[in-house]
């Protein structure tokens, strides 16, 4: 198989994905979930006419106000106050011509109200107020002014954030139909892997003089924790298969059970083409039909994908920063699509704040920091560190660098936003 482009690989993975399931969740559990059906308002909002200010509800004015009570400055229309209407009260006041009632923000105006005027525009003395002309009705919000009964307020596919959840609650909805979170079975392979949560660990320092040291050269299974976080951030639910040894039989058994338990099998390690790399063979033996084994990108050249019926198997490289890049570029779009979200990564053009150090032979993805600047987006490639365990620290973007290019400061590059 010759290396595939990233776009072709993504299209292959996204084609024929099984449609996401739906589930009803309570409003308090709905943050971050994706609406599986449009929401229509069961009733109007506001459900009753209400005052938008603290002030006075006014009845019809009377033509000749009569004598001004002493102390009330004119010119103004005089009203006699009948009482006060607090928010939430079922007031029995009825305003006849020349009468008014004090009213609070959010209260229902009494019967007979023709206008509401803010407190600060009114002169008052005892039971009388003086109003400088009848104000327009903008302080009185009619029933359904914001939402009409039966109106579609949220479209299917909307991600529910605080504002959306507040709107649903305002309409009296208690639960909401959302897409199920895709179940992502996460497996890491490598006989050198140790669980940081486990009891036994390698010595903290060096293994200098190791011929005599009876401790195997193990490293902590960092990919599991990094990828689990990425899966959750993409809206998936992690099912752990635990670290697997470099053993074909063990991996085949594990991956068969993964296909039953999850919507997507995600692995790292063993993706190379050497004798000790079992991912492709294990995917095939577990029932998968291999879609591709190599992409023309760096890092992440070795990514193995297979399809087993409606389920996908995605084998990312073991190298931690390569696993993370591959996860952002391929696994995240699949997980998002399985959860009813827009799969395509968000990309935009940005001006380089610093030069790219050197051209790469293949299309490369470089960890970077993007920020809005006066005239658009600006991006700085992160300094290269030895190895890669710290490569992505501080990154919020990847620069998509075409092969053979090394643009300088001020030149435009394409950036993929990560969060």
| Residue 251 in contact with ligand LQZAQKY5, rule: CB under 6 A | no
| Residue 192 in contact with ligand LQZAQKY5, rule: CB under 6 A | yes
Cα 44 from Cα 28, distance rounded (Å):
22
| Residue 267 in contact with ligand LQZAQKY5, rule: CB under 6 A | no
Helix, strand, coil share of the chain (percent; to 5) = 20, 30, 50
| Residue 363 in contact with ligand MOO, rule: CB under 6 A | no
| Residue 364 in contact with ligand LQZAQKY5, rule: CB under 6 A | no
CB of 273 to ligand MOO, least distance (A): 10
Reference 13, options 328, 300, 317, 334; nearest CA is 334
| Residue 119 in contact with ligand MOO, rule: CB under 6 A | no
| Residue 190 in contact with ligand MOO, rule: CB under 6 A | no
| Residue 268 in contact with ligand LQZAQKY5, rule: CB under 6 A | yes
Contact predicate 72/66, CB 8 Å: no
Cα 93 to chain centroid distance, Å, stands at 49
Which of ligand MOO, ligand LQZAQKY5, none binds 188 (CB below 5-8 Å, type-dependent)? ligand LQZAQKY5
| Residue 269 in contact with ligand LQZAQKY5, rule: CB under 6 A | yes
The one among 320, 340, 343, 381 contacting ligand LQZAQKY5 by CB under 6 A: 320
Binding segment toward ligand MOO, per CB under 6 A, in 159-167, 176-184, 201-209, 292-300: 292-300
The one among 51, 188, 251, 293 contacting ligand LQZAQKY5 by CB under 6 A: 188
Three-state DSSP class for 104? coil
| Residue 302 in contact with ligand MOO, rule: CB under 6 A | yes
CB of 391 to ligand LQZAQKY5, least distance (A): 12
Cα 259 from Cα 252, distance rounded (Å):
11
Question: Do strands 347-352 and 311-316 pair parallel, antiparallel, or not at all (unpaired)?
Answer: unpaired
Which of ligand LQZAQKY5, ligand MOO, none binds 223 (CB below 5-8 Å, type-dependent)? ligand LQZAQKY5
Name residues whose C-beta falls within 8 Å of residue 48's C-beta, 6 or more positions apart in sequence. 108, 143
| Residue 319 in contact with ligand MOO, rule: CB under 6 A | yes
Name residues whose C-beta falls within 8 Å of residue 241's C-beta, 6 or more positions apart in sequence. 185, 186, 187, 254, 257, 258
The one among 119, 253, 256, 301 contacting ligand MOO by CB under 6 A: 301
Contact predicate 82/112, CB 8 Å: no
Strand blocks (E) in 60-203: 77-85, 99-103, 115-118, 123-125, 128-131, 140-141, 152-154, 175-179, 183-189, 193-194
| Residue 317 in contact with ligand MOO, rule: CB under 6 A | yes
Which of ligand LQZAQKY5, ligand MOO, none binds 293 (CB below 5-8 Å, type-dependent)? none
* 90 burial level (CB within 10 Å; 0-12, 13-18, 19+): exposed
Half-sphere exposure at residue 120, Cβ-oriented, CA atoms within 13 angstroms: 1
Q: Under the rule (CB under 6 A), what is the footprint of ligand MOO?
A: 298-302, 317, 319, 322
Q: Under the rule (CB under 6 A), what is the footprint of ligand LQZAQKY5?
A: 188, 190, 192-193, 219, 221-224, 268-272, 277, 299, 302, 317-320, 322
């Amino acid at each position: 198989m010759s290396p595939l482009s990233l776009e072709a690989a993504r299209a292959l993975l996204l084609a024929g994905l099984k449609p996401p399931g739906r589930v009803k969740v309570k409003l308090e559990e709905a943050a971050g979930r994706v609406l599986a059906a449009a929401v229509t308002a069961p009733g109007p909002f506001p459900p009753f006419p209400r005052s938008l200010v603290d002030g006075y509800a006014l009845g019809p004015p009377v033509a000749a106000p009569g004598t001004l009570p002493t102390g009330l400055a004119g010119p103004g229309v005089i009203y006699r106050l009948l009482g006060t209407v607090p928010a939430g009260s079922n007031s029995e006041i009825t305003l006849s011509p020349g009468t008014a009632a004090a009213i609070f923000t959010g209260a229902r105006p009494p019967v007979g109200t023709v206008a509401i005027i803010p407190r600060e525009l009114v002169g008052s003395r005892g039971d009388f107020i003086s109003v400088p002309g009848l104000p327009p009705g903008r302080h009185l919000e009619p029933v359904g002014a914001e939402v009409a009964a039966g109106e579609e307020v949220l479209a299917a596919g909307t991600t529910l954030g605080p504002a959306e959840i507040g709107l649903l609650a305002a309409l009296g909805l208690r639960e909401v139909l959302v897409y199920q979170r895709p179940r992502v079975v996460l497996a890491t392979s490598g006989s050198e892997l140790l669980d940081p949560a486990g009891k036994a660990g390698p010595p903290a320092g060096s293994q200098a003089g190791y011929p005599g040291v009876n401790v195997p050269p193990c490293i902590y299974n960092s990919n599991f924790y990094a990828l689990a976080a990425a899966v959750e951030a993409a809206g998936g639910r992690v099912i752990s298969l635990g670290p697997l040894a470099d053993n074909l039989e063990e991996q085949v058994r594990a991956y068969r059970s993964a296909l039953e338990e999850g919507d997507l099998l995600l692995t790292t390690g063993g993706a190379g083409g050497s004798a000790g790399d079992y991912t492709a063979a294990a995917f095939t033996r577990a029932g998968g039909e291999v879609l591709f084994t190599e992409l023309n990108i760096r890092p992440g050249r070795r990514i193995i994908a297979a399809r087993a019926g409606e389920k996908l198997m995605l084998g990312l490289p073991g190298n931690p920063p390569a696993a993370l890049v591959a996860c952002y570029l391929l696994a995240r779009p699949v997980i998002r699509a399985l959860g009813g979200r827009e799969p395509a990564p968000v990309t935009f053009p940005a001006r380089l704040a610093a030069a790219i150090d050197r051209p790469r032979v293949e299309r490369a993805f470089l960890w970077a920091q993007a920020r809005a600047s006066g005239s658009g987006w600006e991006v700085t490639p992160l300094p290269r560190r030895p190895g890669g365990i710290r490569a992505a620290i501080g990154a919020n973007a990847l620069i998509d660098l075409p092969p053979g290019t090394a643009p300088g400061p001020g030149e435009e590059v394409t950036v993929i936003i990560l969060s």
